[in-house]
Amino acid sequence: MQAHKRIVEKDAPLKKDDLIVITGAGGFIAGNLALYFKKKGFTNIRAVDKKPLYEWYLHVPSVQNLCLDVSVEENCKRVCEGAVEVYNLAADMGGMGFIEKNRVECLRSILINTNMVEAAYRAGARRYFFSSSACAYNTLLQKDPKVRALKESDAYPAMAERGYGWEKLISEMFCEEYWHERGMKTFIARFHNVYGPHGTWDGGREKAPAAMCRKMIEAIDKNDFRINIWGNGEQTRSFMYIDDCVKGIDLITHCDELIATPINLGSSELVSINTLVDKVEKISGKKLKRSYDLDAPQGVAGRNSDNTFIKKILKWEPSTPLDKGLAITYKWIAGQYHARKAGKRVGIG
Ligand code: NAD
């Protein structure tokens, strides 16, 4: 990792009425981030997403909502006008099923960060956050389900996930150089799977925890307890609860030691997909008859977050137990499922 050559000047603490810009805010994490800052008492939040407003997962009261495509340079200028801090979470993304089949769309997200980081810089934003991903890590290190946890230096030599992972890696580099060459404070978190209420739970972009909850709820509803699992179920992952994610974004973005330094933001509680299904069975009190689709998209064999660095710098790490977060998520998805069945309008998130 390149050493910081710049002197870090201390800036004024964020005032409650300073403008915070959040992109991707019609989606899961950025929507929850807008809510988090609102609850912290910030009064000047601009939430941006390309989706029409009625498709946003969360509508946070008294936040300025803009429906704009931030892959377009002109829109980014408008979005960043007056911004003190910019959080760029917009991306075309989904679970493994989506990113393995939509590499072009994932790669095209490069336009989003490229235009957003430049617009934030030109607008004089003090801090810029970019949401990277564990998919930026070298895939050759993730061939064993008993994977050793990934530490920040494992991204290089680079062999990222095709499409989505490479886009994240190049966007990280953009952020790093906007600090080294131009002096804008940038922050980069590599998220490991995030789950929780107000996330995608149906439609093909949902990730494993939401998919498993929905499949169980559907099974109970239809009285058909068969479940098809992608892969052999032994692939491992860690899953971070949304509240830990938004808190982590805040802590990282306000820590000058982390300028232009990618850092893991993930849980280190490693579970197999079979264990995830066990947990959903325990929550619902029902058993599923499992079958395995070995041809379905399943991603790397194993992936976990090494939290040594985040614990050292922030004296904190995501710690919500999967059992607890999953129970809350299950209840929320069940509510959404039954509301939709009753003909009420719900998002798929
Ligand atoms: P999400 O799909 O729920 O939200 C992303 C939002 O970005 C969507 O609402 C989408 O409409 C919007 N968007 C896409 N292209 C846009 C554009 N050109 N202009 C404006 N808005 C646009 O996804 P999420 O789970 O909330 O992910 C947020 C960020 O975190 C993404 O950058 C994603 O790559 C990253 N990430 C998420 C996870 C996870 O587990 N959810 C893991 C690693 C990284």
Closest ligand 1 atom to 168 CA: 34
- Is 171 inside a domain boundary? yes
pLDDT tens digits for range 154-189? 999 999 999 999 999 999 999 999 999 999 999 999
Residue 141 has pLDDT above 80, yes or no: yes
Quote the ligand 1 centre to 89 CA distance (angstroms). 6
pLDDT of the residue at 94: 78
Residue 156 is part of which domain span?
A: 20-195+241-265
CATH code of the domain in which 230 resides: 3.90.25.10
Residue 90 alpha carbon, nearest atom of ligand 1: 7
**Which positions are catalytic?**
164
Same domain, 226 and 170: no
Give pLDDT, residue 299. Answer: 78
Give a yes or no: residue 308 inside a domain: no
Same domain, 182 and 223: no
How many domains are there within the chain?
Answer: 2
Q: Which residues make Cβ contacts (< 8 Å) with residue 321, sequence separation at least 6?
A: 269
CATH number at residue 167: 3.40.50.720
Q: Is the CB of 266 under 6 A from ligand 1?
A: no
The pLDDT value given to residue 167? 98
- Both 177 and 233 in a single domain? no
**88 pairs with which residues across the strands?**
23, 130
Residue 347 belongs to a domain: no
CA 339, CA 96: separation in Å to the nearest integer?
27
Residues 219 and 292 grouped into a single domain? yes
Q: Are residues 103 and 190 in the same domain?
A: yes
- Whether 316 is covered by a domain: the verdict is no
Claim to verify: residue 187 and residue 229 sit in the same structural domain: no
This prediction has a pTM of: 0.95
pLDDT in tens, 260-304: 999 999 999 999 999 999 999 999 999 999 999 999 887 788 889
95 confidence band (pLDDT: 50, 70, 90):
confident
Q: Which residue did the predictor score with more confidence, 305 or 297?
A: 305
**Residue 175 and residue 232 share a domain:** no
Per-residue 3-state assignment (H helix, E strand, C coil) for 32-85: HHHHHHHHCCCCCEEEEECCCHHHCCCCCCCCEEEECCCCCHHHHHHHHCCCCE
Kindly list the distances between the CA atom of residue 110 and the CA atoms of 2, 88, 132, 155, 267, in Å, as whole numbers in the listed order. Answer: 22, 12, 12, 18, 26
Measured distance CA(66)–CA(26) in Å, rounded: 10
Please compute, for residue 20, the number of CA atoms within 13 A of its CA located in the half-sphere on the CB side: 24
Q: Is the confidence at residue 46, as pLDDT, over 60?
A: yes
Residue 309, pLDDT > 70, answer yes
248 pLDDT band, cuts 50/70/90, is very high
Query: Residue 165: CB within 6 Å of ligand 1?
Result: no
Q: Per the domain annotation, does 14 fall within a domain?
A: no
pLDDT at 225 over 60: yes
Whether 258 and 274 map to the same domain: the answer is no
Question: Residue 346 above 80 pLDDT?
Answer: no
Q: Do 107 and 248 have their domain in common?
A: yes
In this predicted structure, the answer to whether residue 112 has a pLDDT above a threshold of 80 is yes
Which atom number of ligand 1 is nearest to the Cα of residue 56? 9
Task: Give the pLDDT band (50/70/90) at residue 2.
Answer: low
**Overall average pLDDT of the 5-12 stretch:** 90
Q: Does one domain contain both 30 and 140?
A: yes
The verdict on residue 67 lying in a domain is yes
Same domain, yes or no: 135 and 213: no
Within the chain, strands assigned E span: 20-23, 45-49, 64-67, 85-88, 127-133, 185-191, 194-195, 226-230, 236-238, 240-241, 263-265, 270-272, 289-293
Give the mean model confidence (pLDDT) for residues 89-97. Answer: 86
Mean pLDDT of 307-323: 98
Ligand 1 probe mutation, 21, 46, 137, 191, most atoms within 8 A of CB: 191
Instruction: Tell me 136's DSSP state.
Output: G
The residue-averaged pLDDT of 11-26 equals 96
Q: Supply the pLDDT for residue 4.
A: 53
What is the distance in angstroms between the CA of the first residue and the CA of the last residue of the chain?
A: 37
C-alpha Rg value of the chain to the nearest Å:
20
Residue 62 covered by a domain: yes
- 128 within domain boundaries: yes
Lowest mean pLDDT among 2-11, 49-58, 83-92, 136-145: 2-11
| 174 shares its domain with 232 | no
70 CB under 6 A from ligand 1? yes
Mean pLDDT of all residues in 91-103: 86
Say yes or no to pLDDT of 349 above 60. Answer: no
- Chain centroid to Cα 2, Å, comes to 25
Sheet holding 185-191, edge to edge: 64-67, 45-49, 20-23, 85-88, 127-133, 185-191, 263-265
Q: How many other CB atoms sit within 10 Å of the CB of residue 329?
A: 26
